[in-house]
A and B are shown apart, each in its own frame.
Chain A
Amino acid sequence: MKKRVLALVLASAMVFSLAACGSKDTGSEQPAEQTTQEAAPVEETEAAAPEEAAEPAGPVELNVTTTFAGEDGNAQNFKSAVEAWCAETGNTVADTSATSDETFKTRVITDFETGSEPDVLFFFNGADANSFIEAGKVVSIDDIRAEYPDYASNMNDDLIVDSLVDGKKYAVPVNGFWEAMFVNTEVLDAAGVSMPGADYTWDMFMADCQKIKDAGYAPIACALGNIPHYWWEFAIFNHTSPATHLNVPDSVDSEQGQAWVAGMEDIKALYEAGYFPDNTLSATDDETFAMFMDGKAAFLIDGSWKVGGIVSACQTDAEDASTLDAEKLAKFDVTYVPGQGDRKATDLIGGLSMGYYITTKAWEDPDKRAAAVSFVSYMTSDEVVPVFAQHTASALKNAPAVDESVFNPLQIKAMAMMSGATSLTGAVQDIFQGDCRVSTFDGMPEIVTGRVSAVDAVAEGLEAYQDAQ
């Protein structure tokens, strides 16, 4: 009998221990209910004194996810800004930032779907954000302003991108981006090619590529099997125009659809001419970037964030700006992507494609609401935004005058290039999201090698896009 009792006691202990393991959620619900009740007076206080509303009631830990990580030029700026905000407010930040790629996007969207979203996130404002906006899991700027009137009041609202879902504004932008063509001038000099300018055409580009190839260099640094995104965007842009670029074709047979096909055919022609590195189908983006930096490739289309990447690669210690090899950096320049048709070379891809969101979860948590507002307000303040924006645009109403003395030579070249831009158009790939991209992004090697026709690949992508609408 004693043994039977002992067995039951042990079994009960096991069951309870399991129950204890799984009881965290239950445990957290109780205080949440209590704090909700306790929060009512706080809200009243906030309404009474809006100027103090952004101050959190006490130290809290905010879960924050951004793309300021890895090789992003602002990774260190973000760390410093977070430290400064924590020191100022006494709050802490659990930072789960990661490099911006498809895995990051999937992780964020999945976090929202499973209810484990962060409190604040710096994320894309295009179609990537549709799922969590549709689900009401982030708070619009207008809703926040109803309680915190000064929220993002330093921003020019016209420059804050509307959601594709409901036309409301959700994400407070920090820095804009542009995409252009970086140049290794050492390779150009060796091949006898002059630095391209604002009148650069596709035909001139093809002629230059041939000269560079003949001189024994790879004309274009691009891993088609890994990151064909930038070439994809500009190849299509060259067959559309700033006015029509953001229109996703209804079908492959439409005029816009044929423009997309022509863009893919252009990339195929470049591949067949041997203008990409020999291992472009098996290389990673890091490898082709290293070729560019080592003077083995001439042209690299990338975003404004690559300015920081190139500067870091010219430093012996990527974290220490004082180790910059100025002579090496002087070999790099940035110019316009060759244009054709209705697109001039000076028509660029760019805009304010990301911003800070406050999630509904944080907004409804009385402990975190004020802290989240305080955090975003700090990160988008007139003092912090210029540090992140550097040579790119911002949405600040009163953007400070640019002091060129604090910039490195490549940043100054980038600003000079941008000053000649005639238009800035968003990236259509930010609208053309999800599995519809697979046939022309991941399928680019099949397109350029002729295993899949450009028409079929584009048609497959558009079919998936229409299916998702």
Chain B
Amino acid sequence: MGANIYKNKKPLIVFLFPAFLFMLVYLFYPFFMNILNSFQHIKNLGQSTGRWNDPWYTNYVELIHDPVVLTSLKNTLIMMVVTIVGQVGIALILALLVDNIKAGAKFFRVVYFFPIVISATALGLMFNLIFLYDKGMLNQILESLGKTSLTDWKGEGLALVTMMLPVMWQYVGFYFVIIITGLNNISEELYESASIDGATRFQRVRYVSLPLLHNVICTCVVLAVTGALKVFDLPWTMFPKGMPMKTTFLTGTYMYYQTMEAKNVDYGSTLAIMLVVLGIVTSKIVNVIFKEKDY
């Protein structure tokens, strides 16, 4: 028998089956049902469907004509850009700075990572107090500096910025840790050789650190973009129901709103399908643009 056992792959299937079964029941079956639900008339969660929509693709027509869908798509796109520039970009700068100091590096790692361990809902409530119209922290600071009128940080003009700043701040630490781990994997000998050749600190970063971080940054960007599609809790806590005037909806929050608040479950299912398609297409595009290199 000997090494032949390793050629027989059948036992592996037995091991893979439980996980497959789990996925089948809790992922693929609900997804398939969700597709069916999007063609039916369902006005409460858990309610058995009454009838098929007439015509059956009604929700998909509504999806195209719904102006809030367009708003949520636009906001999600902005959120993606914000996560790439704001989260990965700031995380990269912070990681490079921390990597270049000797004293206090551990302290800064903990400080930057800390927001990740706080619940997004708690963060949302905290930022609600910061951006509060009357007696909010920011408005009090501005008042002490001489500003006479209150700023409505959650008003139509500033709502998107107010929503995206906390989201950006929350996840900087996550990418910071990934990038700093990547920096730690770069051999010290390379930096020493560059120093001997007369490279300045900036040149060492430009010509040693950044090229060798390419794959790490690509991974971070893919994670950031796909994460932006799923972000929900913090925006919903700060801006429930897309307040104000449905201008702050993201694809995820709009799907939740239609399902849980508006009780338009079949349309919520349609939005969920749009979200899945969007996720697949976006991750494919990002994977092509930010392709990892083999060294």
Contact = CB atoms under 8 A, between A and B. Distances in A.
Contacts of B15: 7, 10-11, 14
B260 to A, nearest CB: 6
Interface stretch (B100-108, B213-221, B241-249, B286-294): B241-249
Given A106-B45, A435-B264, A445 B245 contact: yes
Interface string B230-267: 00000000001101111000000000000011111000
A434 B263 contact: yes
A112 B150 CA distance: 46
A446 B245 CA distance: 7
A451 B246 CA distance: 12
A332 B243 CA distance: 30
A225 B43 contact: no
B134 A106 contact: no
A290 B5 CA distance: 73
A8 B14 contact: yes
A24 interface: no
B1 interface: yes
Contact of A282 (B11, B152, B262, B263): B152
Interface residues of A, number: 41
A102 B261 contact: yes
B130 interface: no
**Which of B48, B133, B159: most chain A CB closer than 10 A?**
B133
**Which of A282, A283, A296: most chain B CB closer than 10 A?**
A282
B132 interface: yes
Given A113-B47, A278-B152, A442 B241 contact: yes
B156 interface: yes
A371 B240 CA distance: 39
**Which of B5, B152, B263: most chain A CB closer than 10 A?**
B263
A191 to B, nearest CB: 19
B228 to A, nearest CB: 23
Interface in A95-123: 102-103, 106, 109-110, 112-114
Interface string A415-451: 0000000000000000000110010001001100101
Given A8-B14, A282-B155, A434-B263, A18 B244 contact: no
Interface string B108-150: 0000000000000000000000001111000000000000001
A281 interface: yes
B264 to A, nearest CB: 5
A287 interface: yes
Given A11-B11, A11-B14, A282-B154, A445 B244 contact: yes
A15 interface: yes
Contacts of B48: 113
A225 B244 contact: yes
B244 A281 contact: yes
Given A15-B18, A279-B133, A282-B154, A113 B44 contact: yes
B262 A131 contact: no
A106 B156 contact: no
B46 A287 contact: no
B152 A114 contact: no
Contacts of B97: none
B261 A442 contact: yes
Interface in A47-87: none
Contact of A287 (B133, B260, B261): B133
Contacts of A18: 18, 21-22
A225 B245 contact: yes
Interface in B14-36: 14-15, 17-18, 21-22
B44 A110 contact: yes
A279 B152 contact: yes
Contacts of B246: 442, 445-446
A267 to B, nearest CB: 15
A1 B1 contact: yes
Given A278-B152, A279-B155, A435-B262, A114 B46 contact: yes
The main secondary structure of chain B at its interface with chain A is loop
Interface residues of B, number: 36
Contacts of B150: 278
Contacts of B260: 102-103, 106
Interface string B30-61: 00000000000001111110000000000000
Interface in A1-54: 1, 3-4, 7-8, 10-11, 14-15, 18
Contact of B14 (A7, A106, A113): A7
A210 interface: no
B243 A435 contact: no
A109 B45 contact: yes
B44 A4 contact: no
A449 B246 CA distance: 13
A110 B155 contact: no
A287 B241 CA distance: 16
A14 B13 CA distance: 13
**Which of B5, B44, B47, B48: most chain A CB closer than 10 A?**
B44
Contact of A281 (B14, B46, B132, B243): B243
Given A8-B14, A290-B134, A282 B159 contact: yes
A291 interface: yes
Contact of A468 (B43, B132, B240): B43
A449 B244 CA distance: 12
Contacts of A14: 15, 18
A232 to B, nearest CB: 15
Contacts of B21: 18
Nearest to B13: A11
A14 B16 CA distance: 10
A127 B47 CA distance: 16
Given A14-B15, A282-B244, A131 B134 contact: no
A290 B11 CA distance: 65
Contacts of B45: 106, 109-110, 113
A449 B46 contact: no
A201 interface: no
Contacts of A287: 132-134
B58 to A, nearest CB: 12
B236 to A, nearest CB: 11
A449 B245 contact: yes
17 contacts: A4-B11, A8-B11, A15-B17, A109-B46, A112-B46, A113-B46, A113-B48, A225-B244, A278-B150, A281-B243, A283-B133, A290-B135, A291-B134, A434-B263, A442-B262, A445-B245, A449-B245
Given A3-B5, A284-B240, 9 more contacts: A7-B15, A106-B44, A106-B45, A114-B46, A287-B132, A294-B134, A435-B43, A442-B261, A446-B246
